[in-house]
Amino acid sequence: MINVLIHIGVLLAFPPLSLGLIRKTKAIVAGRVGPPLAQTYIDIAKLLTKGAVYSSTTTWLFTAGPIVSLAALLAAGLLVPIGSRAPLEFTGDVIVFVYLLALGRFFTMAAALDTGSSFEGMGASREATFSALAEPALLLGLATICVPIRALSLSGAFRAWTVGGQNLGYPATLAAAITLFIVLLAECSRIPFDDPTTHLELTMVHEVMVLDHGGPDLAFIVYGSALKLFILGSVIVHLFLPISVGANPVGATFLLLVGQSVLAVAVGLVESVTARLRLSRVPEILIGATVITALGLVALFYRGGP
């Protein structure tokens, strides 16, 4: 019971802090002071108090987009272990996890297309391409994690991980970590794939899809993107967590939050150092991610065959 409460509490409260950390890191690397760490909380609070304007050409999809997306992400958050085991753990939750993310994405794209504007349509098509290429990488990366226990459960995988000492061995771990990091950058629209701070619609991918949302809808979207970063980041951090899931909930959660912060700083550093890729080069890096994790999977099967 305590686990569940801690899980839900952390899931609701922490994510915007990651976004703040990323922005702060980028600012420091650029030589600026940057916005305060809690800026995202203030933004969300401000947006919630505002009203929203809906165009008469939109339908219910437009209002449903942000809501469904946030709901899907919250549900996915209940499937991912955050330090301790996930509240909704069951066999096959890996597949549901991936499909919840896809559901959220689908509704975002549908809402964007619903506006009838060409900018949003462009963003939706780009998003569809990138996520189509990122999904195999994500699935294979998660498969690599689940192979040792032969069951499709994230919490189960991470529990067996350190308890039995059945580490994946460094090649597969490294491969999965690299791939999932690249998928994180792609799904959360970070610099190599999309610039979250650009104001030129032609260069946007994700930002342009949510261009016409305002008020509470925009608050849900901002919070949702923080959630997505947090959820995918948890999977990555768990690969390197030294203590097992379920042993010591408070301690494990604390360590995970430390890991999340490190990951946020890492993302900020990557964003500061690299430049936005040309759109035609994005498939290369995503296919590269797929290849890396496929190789790790091959090595894993070779070592301890099915």
Partner 1 sequence: MTLTGCADSLLGFILVTDMIIVASSDIATCIRATALQGVALSLLPIVLWGQHGQLIHVATVSVSALVIKALVIPWLLFRFLRSAHVRRESAPHVSRHAAALFATALTAIAFYLARVLVLPMAMPSTLLVPIALTTILHGLFVLISRRLAITQIIGYLTLENGVFIFGQTLVSDMPFAVELGMLLDVLGGVFVMGVAILHISREFDHVDTHQLSSLKD
Q: Which residues bind partner 1 (CB under 8 A)?
A: 171, 283-284, 287-288, 290-291, 294-295, 298-299, 301-303, 305
Work out the end-to-end distance of the chain between its first and last CA atoms, rounded to an integer number of angstroms: 37
Find the Cα–Cα–Cα–Cα dihedral 97, 98, 103, 104, rounded to 10°: 80
Q: Shortest CA distance to 193 belongs to which of 302, 121, 84, 271?
A: 271
Task: Give the other-Cβ count within 10 Å of 261's Cβ.
Answer: 16
Shortest reach from residue 287's CB to partner 1, in Å: 5
Name the CA radius of gyration of the chain, rounded: 19
Shortest reach from residue 88's CB to partner 1, in Å: 34
12 vs 284, which CB is nearer to partner 1?
A: 284
262 vs 291, which CB is nearer to partner 1?
A: 291
90 vs 301, which CB is nearer to partner 1?
A: 301
Burial class (CB in 10 A: 0-12, 13-18, 19+), 269: middle
Shortest reach from residue 123's CB to partner 1, in Å: 23
- The residue behind tokens 């946007």 is 204
Shortest reach from residue 173's CB to partner 1, in Å: 13
163 vs 284, which CB is nearer to partner 1?
A: 284
Shortest reach from residue 298's CB to partner 1, in Å: 5
What is d(CA 112, CA 97) in angstroms, rounded to the nearest whole number? 23
34 vs 171, which CB is nearer to partner 1?
A: 171
User: Alpha helices of the chain — where are they, by DSSP H?
Assistant: 2-13, 15-30, 39-49, 60-79, 93-114, 118-146, 154-163, 170-187, 216-240, 249-273, 282-303
46 vs 303, which CB is nearer to partner 1?
A: 303
What is d(CA 269, CA 267) in angstroms, rounded to the nearest whole number? 5
Shortest reach from residue 129's CB to partner 1, in Å: 13
